[in-house]
Amino acid sequence: MALLEVSDLHVEFSVQGGSVQAVRGASFSVNEGETLAIVGESGCGKTVSVQSVMGLIQTPPGRITRGTAKLRGQDILGGQAADGREIRGTDIAMIFQDPMSSLNPTMTVGAQIAEPLIVHRGYSHRQAMRRAQELLEMTLIPDAASRIKEYPFEFSGGMLQRSMIAMAIACEPSVLIADEPTTALDVTIQSQILDLLVDLQRTNNMAIILITHDLGVVARMANDVAVMYAGEVVERGAVDDIFYRSAHPYTVGLKSAMPTNRRGAVQKLTPIEGAPPDLFDAPPGCGYYTRCPYAMEVCEATPPIVFDVDRAHQSRCWLHHKDCPQQVTQIYRP
């Protein structure tokens, strides 16, 4: 059984004149000690999906209209856990994309790391500050005893990200969500942050959900991958399936737009033409229809079902229907 399993999640935001269908039936899962990467272009619903599970979307205007999220088999979207208070910071924690805007500028870094320990674990202020220092040391911030007394503006970008990680792991969560954890960091610091996450995962046997645009980070970190487009998970599978046996045209397009350093590889990048659909008025059929080079008549009006490409590899695409007139094996190449 998966540690965290999200099924058929629908999230809407009420705006003037109607509703934006931000997430339209997303399903994904992650096992203990493993990493799930959720990839896709901006606005596809990656962050909204995980924030809704944690109870972090503002209601109103946002609301979960359908779906389940189970942590160790227990539904966390219903009952007392509906607002996320019982799980947020304890069972599931999140590293936000921009630490400077996520940290309180009026509180010391140490006080902010200590706060979840006081709230969720019942630590005294002295105990929590001592543990905050240990967590900063664990995340390799030098002179942690002095740093816990400093404010966020006194930290560099890499140190702020490490502080966010320290805060997220303070209560030893089972699931750690990392939303673009290496954005705006230089290459050396990016590598250090990723190595730190791997070390923490091995130490605490955490499950990690990694939200990113960087397919290089996915190849390095992930066990499984969920590819999102227009609020839907269009392909799911092991990392090797996604990279070497891509089963959805959107995934193929993402790979074609990714630079490579392989010797002899074609260096020309192929962009995905067009724009994502307006989810204020979601298309009746496949969301990728207008941009797909293999689109068929059925794709325009009929939403594709999820097809099993392999035992643990799924694709939401009509090209995998047994009656499809095109030869799928000729379309998708490693």
Q: Give the DSSP per-residue string, 140-191.
A: T-SSHHHHTTS-GGGS-HHHHHHHHHHHHTTT--SEEEEESTTTT--HHHHH
44 part of a folded domain: no
Distance between CA atoms of 55 and 148, rounded to whole angstroms?
Answer: 29
**Cβ atoms of 22 and 48 closer than 8 Å:** yes
Q: Mind listing the pLDDT tens digit for each residue in 114-130?
A: 998 998 888 999 999 99
216 part of a folded domain: no
DSSP letter string over 183-229?
TT--HHHHHHHHHHHHHHHHHHT-EEEEEES-HHHHHHH-SEEEEEE
Domain boundary among 172, 194, 228: 172
Residues in the chain where the model's pLDDT stays below 50: 79-82, 329-330, 332-334
* Residue 176 pLDDT: 92
* Tokens (6 digits) for 218: 């996915």
136 part of a folded domain: yes
Q: Mind listing the pLDDT tens digit for each residue in 262-309?
A: 666 566 778 888 888 988 888 899 999 999 988 888 999 999 999 998
189 part of a folded domain: no
Domain boundary among 120, 148, 172: 172
17 part of a folded domain: no
Vertex 175 angle, CA 31 and 313, to 5°: 35
Q: 37, 51, 49: which is closest to 210 by C-alpha?
A: 37
Q: 297 by DSSP, 3-state: which?
A: helix
322 part of a folded domain: yes
Distance between CA atoms of 6 and 26, rounded to whole angstroms?
Answer: 7
Q: 223, 278, 284, 273: which is closest to 249 by C-alpha?
A: 273
Distance between CA atoms of 51 and 104, rounded to whole angstroms?
Answer: 19
Q: 15 by DSSP, 3-state: which?
A: strand
Q: How many domains does the chain have?
A: 2
Q: 93 by DSSP, 3-state: which?
A: strand
Residue in the structure block whose two tokens are 């205007």: 61
75 part of a folded domain: no
**CB-neighbour burial class of residue 161 (10 A; exposed 0-12, middle 13-18, buried 19+):** buried
Domain boundary among 172, 201, 228: 172
Residue type, 72: R
CA dihedral 249, 250, 252, 254 (to 10 degrees): 170
* Tokens (6 digits) for 243: 């990279």
Q: Please state whether 318 falls in left (phi above 0), alpha (psi between -120 and 50) or beta.
A: alpha
Phi, then psi, of 168 in degrees rounded to 5: -65, -35
* Residue 263 pLDDT: 65
67 part of a folded domain: no
Vertex 174 angle, CA 171 and 176, to 5°: 85
Residue type, 250: Y
Give me the domain span that covers residue 153: 92-172
Q: 251, 255, 269: which is closest to 319 by C-alpha?
A: 251
Q: 314 by DSSP, 3-state: which?
A: strand
* Residue 333 pLDDT: 44
Q: 104, 105, 101, 110: which is closest to 170 by C-alpha?
A: 110
Distance between CA atoms of 224 and 30, rounded to whole angstroms?
Answer: 8
